[in-house]
Structure 1
Amino acid sequence: PKVDIWSFGIVGIEMVEGAPPYVMKTSATVRQLISSGGTPKLQNPRQQSAWLRDFLHCCLETDEDRRWSAQELLQHPFVTSAKPTSSLMPLIMAAQQFMADRR
């Protein structure tokens, strides 16, 4: 469902920023912000790629009819241009080493 796509966009922002949007707001305030067109935004959008920003915009479109489907999102350049998961191994190993060195 399209509401899942919205939630996916929120999780995307949380992954980038380390906290969900509007984390310090009450749930009533969040609902009011969103219903009045206050789509959550990245705090520092220029630090992210244009493709990521557009991908999140497609997920967080307030008009449900215009919000992209999962099938459409799979064809988005942010997804189709991704490197293979094997490219993550050096990063994972470096992070593990960093954590081990901190102990």
Structure 2
Amino acid sequence: MAPEVVTGQPYGPKGDLWSLGIVGIEMVEREVPHWNESPISAELLLATGGTPQLRQPKLFSASLRDFLSCCLQTNEEWRWSAKELLQHPFVASAEPVSSLVPLLIAVKKRKEETRM
């Protein structure tokens, strides 16, 4: 949950951008931030400015770290908008989605081979 939701403030579009940052951390670390905390402790961390962090930030590019930081600003006013995030260098430098096709085909082929 975005900090503003935890503290009882109205939910808006920037709450979804907080969630995008959380999903980004989950994708690269394969684990939900604060997973080992009780739900109450995790909410308290968020409410008091406990922004989730990458456990080993140096393993990831500066661009990714900055993108996540822009998504995970505890102050909703400082959090970037969707329009701003689309212009961020991390997003702007991404390869086209079509570049994933060979990878998806290779994974599908490997799965089919292991079934035989």
Q: TM-score, structure 1 length as denominator?
A: 0.90
Task: Give 1:4's match in structure 2, choosing from 16, 30, 40.
Answer: 16
Which has more radius of gyration? 2
* Structure 1 residues without counterparts, runs of 5 or longer: none
| Alignment counterpart, residue 83 of structure 1, candidates 87, 95, 113 | 95
| RMSD of aligned alpha carbons | 1.3
Measure, in 2, the Cα distance between the counterparts of 1:49 and 1:101.
34
Query: Aligned residue for 2:60?
Result: 48
Of 64-73 and 87-96, more deviation after overlay is shown by: 87-96
CA-CA distance at 1:98 after TM superposition: 2.6
What's 2:81 paired with?
Answer: 69
Q: Percent identity?
A: 54
3-state SS of paired residue (1:96): helix
Paired position in structure 2 for 1:32: 44
1:15 match: 27
Q: How many residues are aligned here?
A: 103
Question: What is the TM-score with the length of structure 2 in the denominator?
Answer: 0.81
